[in-house]
Structure 1
Amino acid sequence: MDLTGKTVLVVGSGISGVAATELLKKKNVNVVLFDGNKELDLTALREKHPVFADVKIILGELTAEDRSGLDLVVLSPGVPTDLPMVEDLKKDGIPIWGEIELACHFAKGRIVAITGTNGKTTTTALCGEIMANYYRDVKVVGNIGIPYTSVAADTTDETVTVAEISSFQLETIHTFHPAVSAILNITPDHLNRHHTMECYIKTKERIAENQTEDEVCVLNYEDEVLRAFGETLHTNVLYFSSRQKLDRGLYLDGEDIYYADGENTTKVINVNELNILGTHNYENVMAATGIALSLGVPMDKIVEVLKRFQAVEHRIEYVTEKRGVKFYNDSKGTNPDAAIKGICAMNRPTLLIGGGYDKQSEYDEWIESFGGKVKLLVLIGQTREKIAACARAHGFENIVLCDTFEEAIDTCYRNAVSGDAVLLSPACASWGMFKNYEERGRIFKEYVRALKED
């Protein structure tokens, strides 16, 4: 579709909407902005985002008259695709794109797309560093915080774009097909949006639906859903495994990671040479290595980065030590499976801060993962009672409910002794108490670093 001179409705005035509007205006496309929040101050919105200065803005409700004359709609990822407004647009026969589809419409070069319930951010950051160690023009975008649309116009045929892709973004793709895709794992998450696990799984699997026979999909062999999915693909499949040797793929054997190409087996690295902890991170390393090899990066260039790569912010991130107590920020543990990874990575008795926004998750497996390692569970937010009830049902009684985040941190510090760890790994989203998990993690770090040691 040639969008030049067309009229495109951008839905959402947040970071994605701003980037989409900027890209469309660069490409001489007429933009109309819609936001369902009728209380927004138009003057303040235009002052904050000058790109909206000459854009028609509709707030609150999109009428049939507003819909007439539209050639395309671009939804921000946070906008559910089953809203009545979106259904009306579909009935009118207006194509619905998301920011990823819009970006790839204009972008050049090759793209690596990484999805999965957990590990996306670490794998994307690691993969981006590996690519930048070999290729000249590398862009790291997507759900990691930089909209793909914000860099699409600056890409060339030589660009390698590494993108973290969420299930929300995959709902609205059409022609998007990465040179290399990866699905790291699939566990229950965002069921308040996708409603069923079947829908969530199918949405994640869309990342590979347009790939050709010459392209590659990297999958976790130990995830039964993904192993079965790999058998249905016509594209090249490269598995990684943390539990067993593979004839072709990457695998963890003891403390060593190996790559097998079907004929030869090469040692990649010993995990003790890495700066990131836990089996889940070794899986992220294998996935990033498989992606990089599939895109032609030499093994020595990959290993150079593996040896120097540090944990990404908010993912089992070491913060500081006070009175012999180590503090870790795992604010990105926004669902039970991610939080299990946080617990598994701890090598000390742990005082755990959990709770937050309710995404209709179940917490049984998270509680069971404590395994005698968690000394105290301190709960905050909307889910605190639900998690406390679940913990007691599993025989865990050492629980404290707190009203504020600061109270939770103080409670942990007061009850910790030298040799313990305090871990923020909420198993819940941050909404309701914080703008996002990044703000939650930053506040945790600032507060912890200011704690007095006397």
Structure 2
Amino acid sequence: MDLTGKQVLVAGLGKSGIAAGALLKKMGCMVCLFDGNEKFDRSAWEKTYPVFSDCPLWIGELPDAAVQAMELAVVSPGIPLDTPAILKLQAAGVPVVGEAELAYRFEKGRVAAITGTNGKTTTTTLVGEILKKCYPEVFVAGNIGIPYTSIVEKTTEQTVTVTEISSFQLETMETFHPSVSAILNITPDHLDRHHTMEAYIRAKEGITKCQTKEDTCVLNYEDEILRKFAETLKVNVLFFSSKRPLEEGIYLQENTIWIAGKETERQRLIDVGELKLLGIHNYENVMAASGTALCMGAPIDVVQRVLKEFWGVKHRIEFVRDLHGVLYYNDSKATNPDAAIRGIGSMNRKTLLIGGGYDKNLEFDAWIESFDGKVKCLLLIGQTKDKIAVCARKHGFENIVCCDTLNEAVNICYRLAKPGEAVLLSPACASWGDFKDYTQRGELFRQYVMELPE
């Protein structure tokens, strides 16, 4: 892809935008910058990123004259496509692509791509760990926190890239063509962005758009949406299931994960007791990761070895501390109710649960119902605390404490929790508003817990 001398707009100046702009400059583009946040600190940003000092930069509103001059616009995943600036660009006929799509256009190696509402980061990380044992150079990037554009220049015909891809990124994909894709599950999320469940599903399913009959899509058989979607696909489909044996695919039966083929005898992959990961949702992640890695050419013995060694990822049911017989867990990555259901499902003791955060227009009924006598107290923070409290009381759960800050919630848990119980941060909401992202929320939770007195 030759962009030399072309005038390209980068919209959104967070991590993805910075990486995209840096790549475009190296490719000889005339890079222009835009951020819709009127409070954006221009002077501080320019001091931090002097490489962009010669680039025009617009804040708040994109001028019509600037729009007319652009030959391409690269939009960061956090910017909705129905914002005025993006609509203006599209109306003017300016091609609009996402940061991940831009990266793929420079990709030289094979790609495995993972999406889904929950489990993406754990699965992507695990696939990366397996493939690193199989190939000389493997990159792990995307929604996992490493912009795809920051690594794509290093790819060659021999490299493998494992990408975590969000629905926001999939909205702007045009040529993205993974050799193996995986859709882990689809449950309500980001409806403030996609507006309808149908649009959200359509975005997720778009990961297969450019795949051919030579490629494979790994799907969750127990997700009704994905099971129906498989009937429409012209690619190879590999199912995994946590509830039933499959004639062909990967499945959990009692405490063993098996691999079955139509023309081969089933083969034991691993017993779940050998895993360091907890919970059915993690067994699903293991099956999806194993299927993806095997389809990318990983030998089964390598897969088995890495599965036994893998500790999981930060902020996903991460053990923090045992204090006076109370176990503290950080599940900050549970940014929607379905993820939080999986979090509470992993607890094997009475739990004081910290939830709440940014409102993505989601419903919390199923989350509250999943407490099933396990939650001793629900401590709520953030924009959704009143909404969740009303929902909880509607379902007969009354032991609720609304807190002003996460630190206050942690300290109340410290006073209320008894030996043999657990404290779990599993918010069921995004972190925006009170925190930069779920990572910062999780790190602060860890800090507050570690500061509790012995």
Query: Which residue of structure 2 aligns with residue 163 of structure 1?
Result: 163
Q: Alpha-carbon deviation of 1:42?
A: 3.1
- Aligned residue for 1:209? 209
Matches within 5 A, 1:156-305: 156-264=156-264, 265-305=266-306
1:18–1:51 Cα contact (<8 Å) kept = no
* 2:345 corresponds to 1:323: no
> How far, CA to CA, are the matches of 2:64 and 2:452 in structure 1?
57
Q: Secondary structure at the match of 1:360?
A: coil
Amino acid in structure 2 at the alignment position of 1:101? E
Displacement of 1:51 in angstroms is: 2.3
Instruction: Give per-residue Cα distances to partners, 1:170-201, cap 9 Å, x unaligned.
Output: 01011111111000000000000000000000
Work out the CA distance in 1 between the residues paired with 2:64 and 2:434.
Answer: 37
Q: Distance in 1 between matches of 2:236 and 2:6?
A: 38
- Equivalent position amino acid for 1:308 in 2: E
SS where residue 212 of structure 1 aligns? coil
Which residue pairs with 2:17 in the alignment? 17
Q: Contact (CA 8 Å) 1:353, 1:377: kept in 2 or not?
A: yes
SS at 2:435 equivalent: coil
Aligned to 1:447: 448
In structure 2, distance between residues paired with 1:267 and 1:160: 27
Match of 2:375 in 1: 374
SS of structure 1 residue aligned to 2:332: coil
Cα distance change on mapping 1:386 and 1:42 into 2, 3 Å? closer
- CA distance in 2: counterparts of 1:267 and 1:311, whole angstroms: 22
Q: CA deviation at 1:336?
A: 0.3
Counterpart residue type for residue 138 of structure 1: V
CA distance in 2 between counterparts of 1:59 and 1:410 reads: 40
Matched residue, 2:430: 429
Amino acid of the residue matched to residue 83 of structure 1? T
CA displacement 1:391-442 (0-9 Å, x = unmatched)? 1111111111111211111111111111000000011111121111111100
Over 3 Å counting, the alpha-carbon distance change for 1:246 and 1:202 in structure 2 is same
Cα distance in structure 2, aligned partners of 1:434 and 1:182: 30
Return 398-407 or 288-297, whichever deviates more. 398-407
Q: Select between 172-181 and 33-42 the one with higher mean Cα deviation.
A: 33-42
The match for 1:144 is 144
Q: Which 10-residue stretch deviates more, 123-132 or 60-69?
A: 60-69
String of CA shifts for 1:314-348, please: whole Å, max 9, x gaps.
00000110000000000001110000000000011
Distance 1:50 1:260 in 2: 55
2:40 aligns to what SS in structure 1? coil
Distance in 2 of aligned mates of 1:18 and 1:404: 31
- SS of the residue corresponding to residue 431 of structure 2 reads coil
2: distance between equivalents of 1:97 and 1:83? 15
Paired-residue identity, %: 61
The alpha-carbon deviation at position 222 of structure 1 amounts to: 0.2
User: CA–CA distance in 2 between the matches of 1:335 and 1:120?
Assistant: 13
Unpaired segments of 5 or more residues in structure 2? Answer: none
Deviation at 1:50, TM superposition (A): 2.2
- Is 2:76 the counterpart of 1:104? no
Report deviation, 1:261.
2.1
For 1:275 and 1:408, the matched residues in 2 are separated by 29
Distance in 1, matches of 2:179 and 2:120, equals 17
- Report how far residue 40 of structure 1 moved: 3.2
Q: What is the TM-score when the length of structure 1 is the normalising length?
A: 0.98
Cα-to-partner distance string for 1:209-258 (whole Å, 9 max, x where unaligned): 11011001000000000000011000111000000111111000000000
Letter matched to residue 99 of structure 1: E
Structure 2 counterpart of 1:115:
115
Question: Greater CA deviation, 39-48 or 197-206?
Answer: 39-48
Q: Look up the match of 2:124.
A: 124
- Aligned-partner SS, 1:339: helix
The Cα offsets for residues 10-33 of structure 1, whole Å up to 9 and x where unpaired, read as 001111111001111111111111
Residue type matched to 1:25 in 2?
A: K
How far apart, CA to CA, are the structure 1 residues paired with 2:372 and 2:434?
Answer: 29
Give secondary structure in 2 for the equivalent of 1:428.
coil
**Partner AA of 1:176 in structure 2:** F
- Structure 1: give runs of 5+ residues left out of the alignment: none
What secondary structure, in the 3-state scheme, does the structure 2 residue paired with 1:177 have?
coil
Mean Cα deviation higher: 358-367 or 53-62: 53-62
- After superposition, give the CA deviation of every residue in 1:36-72 in whole Å (9 maximum; x if it has no partner): 2344343321111122122121222212211122111
| 1-structure distance, mates of 2:85, 2:380 | 37
1:325 aligned partner, one-letter code? V
421-430 or 402-411, larger mean C-alpha shift: 402-411
TM-score normalised to structure 2 length: 0.98
1:380, 1:349 → 2: CA distance? 20
SS in 2 for 1:81: coil
Provide the rounded CA distance (Å) in 2 between the counterparts of 1:258 and 1:367.
33
1:36 is the counterpart of 2:36: yes
> Structure 1: which amino acid aligns with 2:314?
E
SS in 1 for 2:361: coil
CA contact (8 A) 1:21 1:51 kept: no
Does 2:452 align with 1:419? no
**Given residue 202 of structure 2, which amino acid in structure 1 is its aligned partner?**
K
SS at match of 1:320: strand
Matched, 1:83 2:59: no
Aligned residues: 453
Q: Is residue 53 from structure 1 mapped to residue 45 from structure 2 by the alignment?
A: no
Q: Does 1:406 align with 2:407?
A: yes
Aligned to 1:388: 389
- CA separation in 1, counterparts of 2:415 and 2:183? 41
Secondary structure (helix, strand or coil) at the match of 2:135 reads coil
Q: Identify which range, 278-287 or 24-33, moves more after superposition.
A: 24-33
CA pair 11-271 structure 1, distance change in 2 beyond 3 A: same
